[in-house]
Structure 1
Amino acid sequence: MKAVILAAGAGERLEPVTSVRPKPMAPVANKPLLAHVVEATVDAGFEEIVLVVGYKRERIQNFFGDGDDWGTSIEYAFQDPRLGTGDAVLQARDAIEDDFVVMNGDRIFESELLQEVRDLRNRTGETLMAVTYVDEPELYGVVETDADNRVREITEKPPAHAIDTDLINAGVYSFGPDIFQAIEETSSPGELALTDVLNRYGESHPVRAVTYDGTWLDVSRPWDLLPVNEALLGEDESPSAETAEVHPEAVVHDRTALGDDVRIHANATIQQGVSIGDNVHVGPNVTIQNAIVMADTTIEAGSVIRDAIIAENVDIGPNVTIPGGKTTVCLHDTIHEDVRLGAVIGDNVSIGGAVSIASGGQIGTGSRVSMGSFVAESIGPETLVTQG
């Protein structure tokens, strides 16, 4: 049985992180989200994977190649234009001859879920959809089931006041090839969601809910990257690369990850919940807490970085302060309160010395912030911020 992984989305809500990479390639615990999904798929025993790619697909193809380095065989299907998850599944049709499993490429789960869905399909031939319980069901597809655990209806992102269950679509399915005809027969005025297909398909074909209570991690908003990163770092000793160098007078706590050729200088402190990508230099007396620092970034002496996501090739000058903590964030015209977010800094940003960034701020790709500036609000890409 083949596994189809949907990885074509752009992830606009995760900008500026997704300005130069597709959402599934956003890193957590020093691996792209999609790498965690591929590893779980291989661990579940799938020997053939179809990756459906679209936005900046070369980033995914260059990273995974033909799958040989991952212990599997990977082929690619292309979605262009991107017309929703239902259409994305349809693009894999030429690679599918028999039953198959489908999953989202940006949600992290245990390999046991894939094994259960595959094995149940092999035994029963039923159409299956994994479901799980979450704290904020209004962010997802809320699932209503009957007494026999059959899916009655899936409602995408309903208002919180209209929800009477915490059960949601977990993003893992098993189908037969007949699902392709069902997709073609389901009309939609815009993008076609796979859940729209299943609502229609379920009118004549039972869809069984498979309840899952294991690890399930999702990134819907930029700040979601931080708790997912921390959860994946786990309780173990720091998994530092052999080429990482930590000064004897620096402190690196457990539940951190250091990439290749990382340099941590004297009196720097790397606290729990931090992943640092390849070729990152952390200067003396720097403090980093609850953060993702991507590759090729430099953080100079005396800077304090908390609750932050810092993309690749960022230069942070000395004595920069990102204080972190809880704040209110406006994302795509929606107000989110009590969000723990220091800042999201895009790729190729340069920040001068003694800059302070207000909690919740975003700095767009390629922007420049002059020495001594105070960044009080989010700024777009390729912007120059000066003092005063």
Structure 2
Amino acid sequence: MTILKMILEIKGVVTIKAVIMAGGKGSRLRPLTCDLPKPMVPILNKPTIEYSIELLKKYDIRDIAVTMAYMPSVIIDYFDDGSEFDVNLKYFIEETPLGTGGSVKNADDFLDETFIVISGDALTDINIKEAVAFHRRKKSKATLVLKKESIPLEYGVIITDEDGRIIRFLEKPSWGEVFSDTINTGIYILEPEVLDYFKKGDNFDFSKDLFPRLLKDGIPMYGYVTKDYWNDIGDLNTYKEAQFHFLDGQIDLEIDNKEVNTGIWIEEGTKLGDNITITPPVYIGRNCVINDDTQLGPYAVIGSNCVIDTGATVKRSVVWKNTNIGRNSHCRGTIICNNVLIKDRINALEGSSIGAGTVISNESVIKPNIKIWPDKKIGESIVVNQNLVWGTKASKTIFGNRDISGDINIDITPEFSSRLGSAFASNLQENAILVVSSDHSNSSRVIRNSLITGILSTGKGVINLKDIPMPLNRYAIKHYEADGGIHVRNDYYNENRIHIELLDENGANLDRNKERKIENLFNREDFERCNASKMKSIMDIENFFSFYIKNGTKRLDDISAIKRKNPKLLISSSCKNILDLTIQFLESIGCQVECDYSVNKYDSVDKYLKYISKQVVKNKADMGIIFSQNGENLILVDERGRIIDKEMYTVLSALILLKIGTSKRICVPYTSPKIIESMAKEYEVDVVRSKTSAAHIMNEILSNVDNENDMFLQYILNFDGILASGKIIDFLVQNSVSMGELVDELPDFYFVEKEIKCDWEDKGRVIKEILVEHKNKDIELFEGIKINNEKGWALILPDSERPVFKVYAEGFSEEYAKELSTVFSQKVEDLLGK
């Protein structure tokens, strides 16, 4: 460091350069960004990026590179060389996308000293002087500015040690991977040499590519946790909130306007009529006309050159410049872009947004969360209840842990389903074919048909299996070599609830990356559409179950032996359709089948299991089998009435695989008992552990099993209860053992599972505090936090779909397993109590 720089820093001057990343398209901010790059979206009548420039200038950082990709001329035309804003701007434009790191590397010639990278489309008042001092005090080569966030799923999570040194990165984690509540703000202080890992023109990302390499190579890299304001303005809601935070005084940045009264800012040239009600905070730009009897605020932001006519109200809304709002029109929680004409008696409701140049005629209603693209004309007395056209939705995850679910005609409507079908199909290659099916409920059929409509509108093909269980859809995808599938089912416990599962070309549930792509297409309504000549016919398949049975029986080794043994089975399911199909299959391979239909009489699973256990013994059945509503999972009852469920079934199916002897690797969920490893060691078989979601387990089976027969066997034992029941019977008969004798062979293990309710925002904090407390213990961070010792283990896992923690424990004895469960459950409850 030069003597001059040292003197300047002693005086509080930060002597570094800056890079403002301004290449964002802002797809989630559409229609605001249809004709405007995201950094130029106004906050209190001024482009967002201008606040970044002013923040840098506040700390005497005036040499600034601006990296751009989308509509760069809009930014250049506004700022020119920066002299009008008392800074020196140099522009670097990407011809092709280079990623966050590649865009900064593109400015390599400019970066000859320590520099800060800041986003042009985020709003922050971070104390740069303190952040730079931290960077230099730690002798860091890369310092990431971090911020605490209670629900960090949409951000990159950073884990640091007690000295602030970064030890791990997680990009947009699931709840099972949330080991910290400190997120990456995208503000970095870097030394130029860290960019030497890549060449100019390379496409690379800071978080995914550069920082993990620095971490691997042991380069000093630290996280500076700021308490200052930061908002990445990721969607329409956060865009509004940022302005309201500004008006509330939560942001330490200048408001370029005169505060005429507490919480009321009005620029020069604005004329106010009579009997106006202004409830602070309110911001009004210059040269506006606010006519008589209007109501503004709280939280109203009005751009320059606007007219608000007599009797109109604007509350919790943002209105851009050159916009007219007519007589007795009401804007509540809406965003209105430039040059919009809203005529008389119009209602724009919460979450709506109206693109530039749009004209809305008298007495129309814009329903909540509706997006209207620029330059649309809406006639009189129109209720706009769908996006016009190519609407985007504020970021929302529509997938749960394994499916999309909601109430029929409220969350899951025919319109929603058609859009979902279009989004899924648009993500596939040309001439793709999807297998579509549902259970036999009328509500599921309605949604199935709507999904088919959406798929066909993109020019993709549909194989309609109609009313079949879920396992048959997966089977059909492989048989027909389709590109994916969709199954719809009604929830047994709530007849108004619908579940929609999307499957890939292997019949497995989609991984999270594919889900995100579909969510993005769905939210943007960025669908493919075809003309009539490319629209395909539906291929209707009748009685696919007969084919399924025929091919499934070919997988059994000795049907004649089953017929000679003629095992007696008692079967049950909450779904009559599953029972009817299973009877056909089991009787075709030679079983005596009795059905129990009394499950509907019981208000708890435990009570029913006690009942069915007694019935198996009373009827002298060889085995009881309870099939899940979707036909995928089993609960077994041996001839002595013992229940084989959950982890017991996982251990039992692992034993069957080991005894069959064709598997070199078996795949089990991460939460399964470790006794499986001990069993597998005796057979010289490897155990592959998967994350707990259905998609992860399926994909582990598909990618970690060597041959097709072995893959089929592991798959059906986990996800096809109908064929699994046949294979288990086949195995028992071939080996001349009863289910009870097989259960007797299982080694003793002691396993406890508990569930603890929590608030969503507490999950990240609790996991981080447990991690910090146990950082010197033997822990695993594969999914949740697993704490190991020589006597057992405990796993604390936040649920992905519900506001609960799950605590799993396994010990060398029943008492110790219970003790572990109690200790860590109490730990979670105590932290939640804090």
TM range (shorter): 0.7 to 0.9
What is the aligned length?
357
Cα 1:283–1:162 change in 2 (3 A) is: farther
Contact 1:293 1:311 in 2 (8 A): yes
Q: Which amino acid aligns with 1:232?
A: F
| Identical aligned residues as a percent | 25
Aligned to 1:209: 223
CA distance in structure 2 between the partners assigned to 1:241 and 1:149 by the alignment: 40
CA distance in structure 2 between the partners assigned to 1:48 and 1:58 by the alignment: 20
Counterpart secondary structure, 1:61: helix
Contact 2:45 2:320 in 1 (8 A): no
Give the alignment partner of residue 383 of structure 1, picking from 371, 376, 386: 376
Contact 1:30 1:275 in 2 (8 A): no
Give the alignment partner of residue 316 of structure 1, picking from 298, 322, 325: 325
- Structure 1 residue 276 corresponds to structure 2 residue 284: yes
Give the alignment partner of residue 129 of structure 2, picking from 115, 124, 127: 115
Aligned to 1:78: 93
For residues 215-266 of structure 1, what are the alpha-carbon distances to aligned partners after superposition, in whole Å with 9 as ceiling and x for unaligned? 2233111121233223223459x97857x9xxxxxxx752233334333322
Aligned to 1:33: 48
Aligned to 1:45: 60
Give the alignment partner of residue 307 of structure 1, picking from 298, 301, 316: 316
Counterpart secondary structure, 1:202: helix
Cα 1:306–1:83 change in 2 (3 A) is: farther
Aligned to 1:151: 166
TM-fit CA distance, 1:143: 1.0
Cα 1:211–1:378 change in 2 (3 A) is: closer
Aligned to 1:58: 73
TM-fit CA distance, 1:296: 2.8
TM-fit CA distance, 1:183: 4.1
TM-fit CA distance, 1:3: 1.0
TM-fit CA distance, 1:278: 3.2
Q: Which amino acid aligns with 1:154?
A: F
Whose RCO is larger (CA < 8 A, sep 6+)? Answer: 1
Contact 2:334 2:348 in 1 (8 A): yes
For residues 57-97 of structure 1, what are the alpha-carbon distances to aligned partners after superposition, in whole Å with 9 as ceiling and x for unaligned? 23322333323333332222222334431222122112112
Q: Which amino acid aligns with 1:203?
A: K
Cα 1:282–1:87 change in 2 (3 A) is: farther
Give the alignment partner of residue 303 of structure 2, picking from 289, 294, 301: 294
Aligned to 2:586: none
For residues 33-56 of structure 1, what are the alpha-carbon distances to aligned partners after superposition, in whole Å with 9 as ceiling and x for unaligned? 222211111111213111222322
After TM superposition, the structure 1 = structure 2 runs for residues 1-388 of structure 1, keeping only pairs within 5 Å, are 1-112=16-127, 114-123=128-137, 124-160=139-175, 162-184=177-199, 192-196=204-208, 197-204=210-217, 205-235=219-249, 241=257, 254-289=262-297, 290-322=299-331, 324=332, 342-376=333-367, 377-386=370-379, 387-388=381-382
CA distance in structure 1 between the partners assigned to 2:235 and 2:177 by the alignment: 22
Cα 1:321–1:125 change in 2 (3 A) is: closer
Greater fraction of residues in helix: 2
Larger Rg, first or second structure (1 or 2): 2
For residues 306-328 of structure 1, what are the alpha-carbon distances to aligned partners after superposition, in whole Å with 9 as ceiling and x for unaligned? 12222332221111012x3xxxx
CA distance in structure 2 between the partners assigned to 1:139 and 1:213 by the alignment: 19
Contact 1:253 1:271 in 2 (8 A): no
CA distance in structure 1 between the partners assigned to 2:290 and 2:36 by the alignment: 24
CA distance in structure 2 between the partners assigned to 1:13 and 1:384 by the alignment: 23
Comparing 36-45 with 287-296, which one deviates more in the overlay? 287-296
TM-fit CA distance, 1:161: 5.4
Contact 2:353 2:371 in 1 (8 A): yes
CA distance in structure 2 between the partners assigned to 1:278 and 1:54 by the alignment: 32
Aligned to 2:636: none
Contact 1:4 1:102 in 2 (8 A): yes
Contact 2:123 2:231 in 1 (8 A): yes
CA distance in structure 2 between the partners assigned to 1:187 and 1:155 by the alignment: 23
**Contiguous gaps of at least 5 residues in structure 1:** 245-251, 325-341
CA distance in structure 2 between the partners assigned to 1:374 and 1:231 by the alignment: 28
**Contiguous gaps of at least 5 residues in structure 2:** 1-15, 383-834
Counterpart secondary structure, 2:216: coil
CA distance in structure 2 between the partners assigned to 1:58 and 1:210 by the alignment: 34
Question: Cα RMSD between the aligned structures?
Answer: 2.8
Cα 1:224–1:178 change in 2 (3 A) is: same
Counterpart secondary structure, 1:309: strand
CA distance in structure 1 between the partners assigned to 2:354 and 2:171 by the alignment: 31
TM-fit CA distance, 1:303: 0.7
TM-fit CA distance, 1:370: 0.9
Counterpart secondary structure, 2:153: helix
CA distance in structure 2 between the partners assigned to 1:51 and 1:239 by the alignment: 23
Contact 2:102 2:200 in 1 (8 A): no
Aligned to 2:690: none
TM-fit CA distance, 1:195: 1.0
Q: Which amino acid aligns with 1:365?
A: A
Q: Which amino acid aligns with 1:381?
A: P
Q: Which amino acid aligns with 2:102?
A: D
TM-fit CA distance, 1:284: 1.6
TM-score normalised to structure 1 length:
0.82
Counterpart secondary structure, 1:139: coil
Cα 1:235–1:207 change in 2 (3 A) is: closer
Contact 1:226 1:291 in 2 (8 A): no
Contact 2:123 2:233 in 1 (8 A): no
TM-fit CA distance, 1:6: 0.9
Cα 1:154–1:234 change in 2 (3 A) is: same
Cα 1:273–1:359 change in 2 (3 A) is: same
CA distance in structure 1 between the partners assigned to 2:287 and 2:50 by the alignment: 20
Q: Which amino acid aligns with 2:364?
A: S
Counterpart secondary structure, 1:132: strand
Contact 2:237 2:351 in 1 (8 A): no
Greater fraction of residues in strand: 1
Q: Which amino acid aligns with 2:366?
A: V
Contact 2:296 2:315 in 1 (8 A): yes
Counterpart secondary structure, 2:371: coil
CA distance in structure 2 between the partners assigned to 1:254 and 1:149 by the alignment: 41
CA distance in structure 2 between the partners assigned to 1:233 and 1:55 by the alignment: 30
TM-fit CA distance, 1:131: 0.9
TM-score normalised to structure 2 length:
0.40
Contact 2:65 2:90 in 1 (8 A): yes
TM-fit CA distance, 1:172: 1.7
Contact 2:98 2:201 in 1 (8 A): no
CA distance in structure 1 between the partners assigned to 2:256 and 2:359 by the alignment: 31
Counterpart secondary structure, 2:212: helix
CA distance in structure 1 between the partners assigned to 2:19 and 2:256 by the alignment: 32
TM-fit CA distance, 1:186: 11
CA distance in structure 2 between the partners assigned to 1:177 and 1:94 by the alignment: 10
Q: Which amino acid aligns with 1:81?
A: T
